[in-house]
């Protein structure tokens, strides 16, 4: 199996001003490409050959294969959850019902997601995930980890590595997180559920 770059459903400048073309060119075009290339170089001849990135993330020990598979999975979910022209600014349907049930309200969910994202020390990801019983969870994942590692299915992820926001927001991680809400494709997030 060869791991490939996800195809963006928007132009490299399509998420401006929330995420600039320069950031997409660097973050997607160079950073993610490096993880894909590394994974393709590391997996052949190992027990992970022929396995999906989800399978690798769920079962690989810490190290190069896990780190690169995690970042391929994380970035693929991240880049594909955005749209230049959201048709709604809040989820609807089953996802909205689950958010209300598990977090009290959409506003409270946003507050908890923002808090988790801004308080994660160092590099990593904040995820909204669902467990096998349908309960939603917000988790902080260090470095390249992903909720798959803990038996959860990721639905929405915020990249809080500095490379995700430094060109556009410098050290203002909270500003970056607040702006991401403007470009989320809630239909994609709900389909993941």
Which of 35, 58, 80 is a domain's end point?
A: 80
pLDDT of res. 163: 85
Backbone angle region of 45, left / alpha / beta, with phi > 0 → left and psi within -120 to 50 → alpha: left
CATH number at residue 142: 3.55.40.20
Q: Does 109 lie in the same domain as 154?
A: yes
- Measured N-to-C along each axis, helices 173-180 and 106-119 cross at an angle, to the nearest 10 degrees, of 150
Q: Does 179 lie in the same domain as 107?
A: yes
Q: Look at residue 161 and tell me whether its pLDDT is greater than 90.
A: no
pLDDT of res. 35: 96
Has residue 146 been placed in a domain? yes
pLDDT (tens digit, 9 = 90+) per residue, 72-102? 999 999 999 999 987 778 999 999 999 999 9
Q: Does 105 lie in the same domain as 71?
A: no
Q: Does 102 lie in the same domain as 170?
A: yes
Domain that includes residue 48, residue range = 21-80
- Measured N-to-C along each axis, helices 33-42 and 64-80 cross at an angle, to the nearest 10 degrees, of 140
| Global pTM exceeds 0.85 | yes
**Backbone phi, then psi, for 139, in 5-degree steps?**
-125, 150
Q: Does 103 lie in the same domain as 56?
A: no
Number of domains in the chain: 2
Has residue 74 been placed in a domain? yes
pLDDT of res. 114: 97
Has residue 1 been placed in a domain? no
Q: Does 188 lie in the same domain as 112?
A: yes
Residues of each annotated binding site for Mn(2+): 27, 75, 159, 163
Q: Does 184 lie in the same domain as 115?
A: yes
Q: Does 57 lie in the same domain as 103?
A: no
Has residue 86 been placed in a domain? no
Which of 57, 80, 103 is a domain's end point?
A: 80
pLDDT (tens digit, 9 = 90+) per residue, 11-37? 999 999 999 999 999 999 999 999 999
Q: Does 176 lie in the same domain as 129?
A: yes
Residues of each annotated binding site: 27, 75, 159, 163
CB neighbours (10 Å) of residue 28? 18
């Amino acid at each position: 199996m060869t791991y490939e770059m996800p195809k963006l459903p928007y132009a490299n400048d399509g998420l401006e001003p929330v995420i600039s073309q320069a950031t997409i060119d660097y973050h997607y075009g160079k950073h993610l490409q490096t993880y894909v290339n590394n994974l393709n170089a590391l997996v052949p001849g190992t027990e992970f050959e022929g396995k999906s990135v989800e399978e690798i993330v769920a079962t690989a020990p810490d190290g190069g294969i896990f780190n690169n598979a995690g970042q391929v999975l994380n970035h693929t979910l991240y880049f594909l959850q955005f749209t230049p022209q959201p048709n709604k600014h809040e989820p609807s349907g089953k996802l909205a019902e689950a958010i209300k049930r598990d977090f009290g309200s959409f506003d409270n969910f946003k507050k908890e997601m923002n808090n988790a994202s801004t308080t994660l020390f160092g590099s990593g990801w904040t995820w909204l995930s669902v467990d096998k019983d349908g309960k939603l969870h917000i988790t902080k994942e260090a470095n390249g980890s992903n909720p798959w590692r803990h038996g959860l299915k990721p639905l929405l992820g915020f990249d809080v590595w500095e490379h995700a926001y430094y060109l556009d927001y410098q050290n203002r991680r909270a500003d970056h997180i607040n702006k991401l809400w403007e470009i989320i494709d809630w239909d994609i997030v709900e389909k993941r559920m």
